A and B are shown apart, each in its own frame.
Chain A
């Protein structure tokens, strides 16, 4: 009879002692950290406020975060769609974990985009929310992917969850251009695009700050993705192992019961024979 080892389900999966980090992710983390310090210096101190005609002044500094965050969220959702398609093709859990992790980080970056856009709008337009086409379609995309994450939480069976979320991951991404196009068209009928003034005369250090922000946002995305992916992969493995472990335990219990029944039945049989 095999007795399950004493460690819990978690013990069956040996993680790297340092958690989700590895040599590569540590180096990337340090690069992101050093880059952030440089970025903050360039974006907040070194670069001059925008003083051209139709200028944003100090407000231009929000763009160094807003635009990179927006790019990172589109990148994240693109990765989710590609990983979803790869899952449907290869059917390996890694692709599912990648799609899930990327969508989660994408939602965070989308929230950051909305937040910075709203703060920018408050100072420029005087309202926290303006029905600007880009802001509005981003808000819809935000809810769309919250729905994707909600679906992931709602399905318990891992294979079923992976398959259904993969299909939704692709459909959701196909929706992004439709939503974008229709909202854009809807607003352009009523007013000229408000964010047109968002493309300032950009040069020198300001351009560098924006460029650095974009690189940094993508590196940050990659770093977050590495960790989130490893965590998701480990938790999926744990889920599977946990099930194996529970099955093993129940089987052992069953065998123990059977042995007990046999043991108590044996004397009774003896008694029968004597009589």
Chain B
């Protein structure tokens, strides 16, 4: 079990230990099912190819639009990743088991968010390779790129876990989640795109400000999630 050492190191009655348990469970499910690697990753790369059909690949539009297209592909994949992360919880009454498990709801929230975040980071790494190869862009400003990806992913994962549990268990969850989530994460798309543009143009001054906005977004949603996850889990 990959998470066993991590969760054993932490004190028994702690939120972080609960989070590590939930995250470990999600990673083990992924190790066996390979849904992210086998379906989400190809989907994300397919989106990149589809963008090229929509925007003429010969006229450098793709290169200029790379930051925006990158984050748009991340948002689309994120919706699927969240749906996946909560469909494994709602099947077979797992969510009742989770409620009865004596795990701290805040820990469950952090664990789900960390699991989603790790999946997203893998997707983003692949997408970065994808835009470099397919759109012919050379990444610059590695520090800013990495910081943007980390803060944006933290925000997306936290907001995603919150809205994921809200929509989980509803019959219309698949159609409801995008309309609930996309307006909320629009600032992440804006900030991520602007920060990436700054990094690619090697003018990172503005980029760090956008990165700061992403950090604020992430912090806000982690705090909201820690408090709101328990009542939402009770009702889902």
Q: Are A150 and B176 in contact (CB under 8 A)?
A: yes
Which stretch in A177-185, A213-221, A227-235 binds the other chain? Answer: A177-185
Q: Are A164 and B183 in contact, with the CB atoms below 8 A?
A: no
Given contacts A151-B176, A154-B170, A164-B235, contact A186 B206 (CB under 8 A): no
Main secondary structure of the interface of A (DSSP, over half): helix
How many chain B residues touch A (CB < 8 A): the figure is 28
Residue contact B170 to A178, C-beta cutoff 8 Å: no
Are B235 and A143 in contact, with the CB atoms below 8 A?
A: no
The count of chain A contact residues (Cβ–Cβ below 8 Å) is 28
Q: Given A160, A171, A172, A183, which contacts B190 in the complex, CB threshold below 8 Å?
A: A183
- Selected contact of A174 from candidates B172, B186, B187, B224, CB within 8 Å: B224
Which chain B residues lie closer than 8 Å to A167 at the CB level? Answer: 166, 228, 231-232
A201 interface hit (Cβ, 8 Å): no
Asked if B213 CB lies within 8 Å of chain A CBs, one says yes
Q: A147 at the A/B interface (Cβ < 8 Å)?
A: yes
**Centre residue among A179, A181, A185 by max chain B CB count within 10 A:** A185
Interface residues of B in 44-83 (CB under 8 A from A): none
Shortest Cβ distance from B191 into A: residue: A182
- Residues of chain A within 8 A of B224, CB atoms compared: 171, 174
B-side binding surface: helix, strand, loop or mixed?
helix
Q: Once the chains bind, are A151 and B166 in contact (CB under 8 Å)?
A: yes
A154 and B179 contact, CB distance less than 8 A: no
Q: Across the interface, do A178 and B176 meet the contact criterion of CB distance under 8 Å? A: no
Between-chain CB contacts (< 8 Å), 12 pairs? A147-B180, A154-B171, A163-B234, A164-B235, A171-B162, A174-B224, A175-B183, A178-B217, A182-B213, A183-B187, A186-B194, A189-B194
Beyond A154-B176, A163-B234, A182-B187, 17 additional contacts (C-beta under 8 Å) are A140-B183, A140-B186, A143-B183, A146-B179, A147-B183, A150-B180, A151-B166, A155-B170, A163-B235, A164-B232, A167-B166, A168-B166, A171-B224, A175-B183, A182-B191, A186-B194, A189-B206
> Which residues does A use to contact B, with CB under 8 Å?
88, 140-141, 143-144, 146-147, 150-151, 154-155, 160, 163-164, 167-168, 171-172, 174-175, 178-179, 181-183, 185-186, 189
